[in-house]
Amino acid sequence: MSALITATGLTKHFPAGGFLGRGRAVQAVTDVSLTVARGETLGLVGESGSGKSTVGRLLLGLLPPSAGHVTFDGADLATARAGDLRTLRRRMQLVFQDPYGSLDPRRSVGAQIGDALSIHALLPRADRAPRVAALLEQVGLAPDHAARYPHQFSGGQRQRIGIARALASGPDFLVADEPVSALDVSVQAQVLALLADLRARLGLAMLFISHDLPVVRHLADRVAVMYLGRIMEEGPVAAVFARPRHPYTQALLSAAPSLHPERRRTRILLQGEPPSPANPPSGCVFRTRCPLASSDCAHAAPPLQGAGHRVACFKAE
């Protein structure tokens, strides 16, 4: 499979707030390398503040990295010329988490979906309305919904509108940042099915960010697990879920509540809470909560290594 998007050594530190920037920089993302192949879905899981959204925004070039680089279809986002960057932008899109905050309440749905078409001058004006209608149908809404305003739709319908807007420019890569976590479970499943269907029909590559492990299990081909800005483990979903090798992944999978508690993995209860990303532990960032940690783990950060199924832990079998 050919890589569509590749991140190498991506690092993002947000300068500290406060007077004259005193305090420590937030190390939101550190040394993240990953690839997404054409038509492939990479799930990105991790707890709140682990840097998932920041990775998504770095891949889209919405944030400049502090170090490392992103190449999209062979072009380096950092060095691409303005004109090329516009073309690249068209080919990468974002689906937001909040179906309410992410649509402009004062403009019709059709106008917002049409934005991408006019910004990138993709179609003559006369052809835009039919294209918007086709997009709405593609996400399971009626063409005449174009004239309505966001408040006239339910949360699930708005999320469909957000997806239609992202698809308008004909992207090959979609970052979906928690696209269903604000939705009720019966609606979640519909939107997930829509995403899976679109991916198959349009050959979309996708970075699917979520904290819901079973959802990732169903939608993604591969999964990367983040903790405190670093990738701890990465591999094909089936392998990672069946045989998690990193102690954090094992704890995370075992902590997720299960519909069938009797079939759940034995629970590994992590002690304490994640440290602040402004002041991560030395060496392996997970060591303050790791049941296997030893003094070695404080000295150096374990590299993410392995073939196909990669783990960043000195003790991983």
Ligand X SMILES: Nc1ncnc2c1ncn2[C@@H]1O[C@H](COP(=O)(O)OP(=O)(O)OP(=O)(O)O)[C@@H](O)[C@H]1O
One residue of 10, 36, 51, 114 binding ligand X per CB under 6 A: 51
Is position 85 an interface residue for another protein (rule: CB under 8 A)? no
One residue of 41, 50, 112, 188 binding ligand X per CB under 6 A: 50
Residue type, 307: A
Q: Which residues pair with 10 in a beta bridge?
A: 32
Is position 286 an interface residue for ligand SF4 (rule: CB under 6 A)? yes
**For Mg ion, which residue has the nearest CB?**
53
Q: Are 304 and 235 in contact (CB under 8 A)?
A: no
Binding range to Mg ion, per CB under 5 A, among 13-21, 51-59, 114-122, 281-289 = 51-59
Residue 46's binding partner among ligand X, ligand SF4, Mg ion, none (Cβ under 5 to 8 angstroms by kind) is: ligand X
Q: Which residues pair with 161 in a beta bridge?
A: none
Residue 193's binding partner among another protein, ligand SF4, ligand X, none (Cβ under 5 to 8 angstroms by kind) is: another protein
Residues 181, 12: Cα–Cα separation, whole Å = 25
Q: Are 172 and 128 in contact (CB under 8 A)?
A: no
In this structure, what token pair is assigned to residue 144?
């005449």
Q: Which residue, 14 or 149, is less far from Mg ion as judged by CB?
A: 14
Residue 26's binding partner among another protein, ligand X, Mg ion, none (Cβ under 5 to 8 angstroms by kind) is: ligand X
Strand segments, DSSP code E, in the chain are 3-14, 26-37, 41-46, 67-72, 75-76, 92-95, 173-177, 205-209, 222-227, 230-236, 310-311
Is position 288 an interface residue for another protein (rule: CB under 8 A)? no
Smallest gap from Cβ 290 to ligand X, in A, equals 19
Of 228-287, which residues contact another protein (CB under 8 A)? Answer: 241, 251-252, 255-261, 263, 267, 269-270, 272-274
Residues 71, 134: Cα–Cα separation, whole Å = 31
Largest distance between two CA atoms of the chain: 68
Q: What is the DSSP letter of 89?
A: H
Residues 312, 317: Cα–Cα separation, whole Å = 11
Is position 313 an interface residue for ligand SF4 (rule: CB under 6 A)? yes
Of 244-303, which residues contact ligand X (CB under 6 A)? Answer: 277
Smallest gap from Cβ 182 to Mg ion, in A, equals 12
Is position 292 an interface residue for another protein (rule: CB under 8 A)? no
Residue with tokens 């006019």: 118
CA angle 193, 197, 198 (to 5 degrees): 120
Of 155-174, which residues contact another protein (CB under 8 A)? Answer: 156
Smallest gap from Cβ 209 to another protein, in A, equals 14
Smallest gap from Cβ 160 to another protein, in A, equals 12
Is position 48 an interface residue for ligand X (rule: CB under 6 A)? yes
- In terms of Cβ atoms closer than 10 Å to its own Cβ (0-12, 13-18, 19+), residue 122 is middle
Q: What is the DSSP letter of 305?
A: B
Q: Which residues bind another protein (CB under 8 A)?
A: 19, 47-48, 154, 156, 184-193, 196, 211-215, 217-218, 241, 251-252, 255-261, 263, 267, 269-270, 272-274
